[in-house]
Structure 1
Amino acid sequence: MKEALLGWTALNLLPEIGPIKAVRLLEYFPDPINLFRKKDKKGLTGIPGINLQDVDNILKFDLKEAEVELQLAEKRGFKILDLSDPDYPPLLKSIPDPPILLYVWGGLTEEDQLAIAIVGTRLCSPYGRIQAERFASSLAESHFTIVSGIARGIDTAAHQGALRVKRRTIGVLGSGLLEPYPPENRKMMEKMASSGAVISEFPLRIKPERHTFPRRNRIISGLSRGVLVVEAGIHSGALITAALALEQGREIFALPGPIDQETSFGTNNLIKEGAHLITAPEDIIVTLYPTLPFPKTPPAAPEPETTSPDKESEILALLSRHHKSGIEEIASRLNLSLAETGSLLTRLELGGKIKQIPGKQYTLFPP
């Protein structure tokens, strides 16, 4: 067992020591094992921001706890990267408050330096789910690693989009790796770990709590060169990720949505505040490529999507006959994929020709 990693793990296990305090401690104790070996009470007391309770917790900490944590991670096949590890993601390391430790299920690679975060509400509409999967698939095929949380809704759709085209995706948990949430995404996480990674800064047995998810969000944006918000209400946690991304100097992208739909209030507001309005994956590629700091063959932009006026007319005719229909019914009747149907409905809705009504149905506007 490496002595250095033992010190980093112990520091991460300390109660009430978040990333900001940890960085302060590291300024005085670059090798964290010395925090626990030297028992330097006087030296600890003089560190700005470190209170007497913190000092007491450090002096009383039993290194056997860190040994057990490392043994458990090894047994489960998880990697642990500390801030000094050459494999620690350089983009994440550059943020003001990087995690001092990352637990990794799967693997991180150099490819992940070209990453885009896709985030949004858990309570997404069919439109949001389809667009999240569509953008994730197209960007993944253009060699972007997809990054998101592992929540229900938009997060799940983004990962599924990348997995569908067999490309890399990284999920960031708001809990320890042994307490994944939500539990129904366990199978998806196994697939992600085999072709990408599931990561967390939290010790293995930490359960998800309300305060752990906002803390996780800085990692999602920190790993990425830009953040795409697909759907978000005015109080959505996805807007926290966007705000953190802005502080970290990342590009913010937002997908426009119906002005009377609650899940679009946040995204439409982001656009009003200066986020990039995007309607196709190539919009993101064109914006991000000039900002890349390393020489790289430009990722191939997906072919711009063309919309057939005939298909739009068929949808309008169908709604005229049936008055209202859901996206699945429209796709089935016109023999279209859900992604193509979602794109057509979005264009018609933005053009003021149709509207979404309660029950996730579409009707002509005005009727």
Structure 2
Amino acid sequence: MSNNQWLTNLLKLSNTKIDAPRMREILTDNKKLLMEDNFLDKLYKFGKLSQNEIERVKKINIDKQLHIVKSKEISLFTFEDADYPENLKKLGDSPPILYCKGKLSPEDNNAVAIVGTRRATEYGKTVARNLAKELSCRGVTIISGLARGIDTQAHLGALEENGRTIAVMGTGIDRIYPTGNRNLASRIIKNGALVTELPPFSPPLPYHFPSRNRIISGLSRAVIAIEAPLKSGVLSTVKWALEYGRDVYALPADITSEVSKGTNRLLKMGAIPITGYQDILNNTGLDIKEKEIEKSDKLEHIPENVRKVYELLELKPKTVDILAYEAKMKPQEILSLMLILEMKGLAREIGGKRFIRENL
């Protein structure tokens, strides 16, 4: 069998858009046909595909898709391949064909998803990033959806610890969405993978994302919902997580905040409150690599007034004026001390002279 013929036939089958159980059956029962020309016509002859499904594929430039797959070093895995993710393999409706750019690893079975709204608060973004950092440095792969907001922060947190992270896309593997996350996607490829069940050139259509969410849940041992309004794709991810028997965590937050009403409802429905990474370690059966987490010496040998301001910082932003009032200092003095804290990686300005604490 030529590799080109096998790839071409997998691309053709992927473009039929038939449901997962049917595609799995075709892949299981017709392995020899994957090596042959006229693959789809033979499936039609055996009653496996309809004429309409074949006509749909004939309208697509499969050669162009094949060129993208080969030139961009994209891997295609079927659910029977050794490199197919083990957590997904166990599910009856997992993607029969998975596109991957980057590298999947057996250690990715030890994974947690961190998801949330695109319109996240600074508090939510900081919690997502810090949780990802804490879990990553303990050998946990972080799964998310490459979206703006919480997803972006989850991926960044993992990368900051040189940890593994996987982005599940609601587009073809060649279409980074949103486009503003192209640089982030490039970094993820080096420390994990981009994956999707959609063939090349698939655009970010609304109905692609609920299916994307099922893969996020399927890849993970637990799902952490950081912030979500009442109508949010996060709730779709949680629904799949519950169906797959995954642990579901939610971040307690301001009951008056629209972006937290969905996650607060999840807590009322029985989701586990997440107050720190230890909650995940205590409740979900993860394989934790007890790396020696070096105690930070960033606070050593710094002046007392700098330490005082650091201790006033929180995950919620504080303005210079509030810090000045609490520290009984002048705003200009606070700005000078914040510069020292930022240089040491202990604080971060989020705009408008508002600052948050960074983890030690």
Question: TM-score category by the smaller chain?
Answer: 0.7 to 0.9
> Which residue in the other structure is 1:23 paired with?
24
Evaluate the alpha carbon distance shift between residue 79 and residue 28 of structure 1 in structure 2; reply closer, same or farther with a 3 A threshold. Answer: closer
1:1-367 equivalence runs, <5 A: 1-2=2-3, 3-14=5-16, 16-26=17-27, 29=30, 33=34, 36=39, 39=42, 41=44, 43-44=46-47, 54-58=50-54, 61=57, 65-289=61-285, 299=290, 311=311, 319=322, 335=338
Evaluate the alpha carbon distance shift between residue 37 and residue 105 of structure 1 in structure 2; reply closer, same or farther with a 3 A threshold. Answer: closer
Q: Distance in 2 between matches of 1:116 and 1:299?
A: 17
Amino acid at match of 2:185: M
Q: Distance in 1 between matches of 2:258 and 2:336?
A: 28
Q: Distance in 1 between matches of 2:127 and 2:233?
A: 19
Q: Distance in 1 between matches of 2:227 and 2:353?
A: 15
Unpaired runs of 5+ in structure 1?
A: 324-328, 343-358, 363-367
Q: Distance in 1 between matches of 2:109 and 2:41?
A: 38
Q: Distance in 2 between matches of 1:183 and 1:239?
A: 24
Does the 8 Å contact 1:130/1:339 carry over to 2? no
1:245-281 per-position Cα deviation (integer Å, ceiling 9, x unaligned): 1001111011110111111111111111111111010
Does the 8 Å contact 1:36/1:59 carry over to 2? no
Q: CA deviation at 1:282?
A: 1.1
3-state DSSP class of the match of 1:180? coil
3-state DSSP class of the match of 2:42? coil
Does the 8 Å contact 2:15/2:57 carry over to 1? no
Q: CA deviation at 1:288?
A: 1.4
Q: CA deviation at 1:82?
A: 1.4
3-state DSSP class of the match of 1:39? helix
Q: CA deviation at 1:101?
A: 1.3
**89-98 or 19-28: bigger deviation:** 19-28
Evaluate the alpha carbon distance shift between residue 318 and residue 56 of structure 1 in structure 2; reply closer, same or farther with a 3 A threshold. Answer: closer
Does the 8 Å contact 1:8/1:100 carry over to 2? no
Q: Distance in 1 between matches of 2:165 and 2:43?
A: 43
3-state DSSP class of the match of 2:284? helix
TM, length-normalised to structure 1: 0.76
Does the 8 Å contact 1:120/1:155 carry over to 2? yes
3-state DSSP class of the match of 1:73? helix
Q: What is the number of residues matched between the two proteins?
A: 325
Q: Distance in 1 between matches of 2:294 and 2:280?
A: 13
Compute the RMSD of aligned alpha carbons: 3.7
Does the 8 Å contact 2:165/2:193 carry over to 1? yes
3-state DSSP class of the match of 1:170? strand
Does the 8 Å contact 1:36/1:58 carry over to 2? no
Q: Distance in 2 between matches of 1:78 and 1:40?
A: 26
3-state DSSP class of the match of 1:69? helix
1:57-84 per-position Cα deviation (integer Å, ceiling 9, x unaligned): 2378559954543332111111111122
Q: Distance in 2 between matches of 1:320 and 1:63?
A: 62
Identical aligned residues as a percent = 35
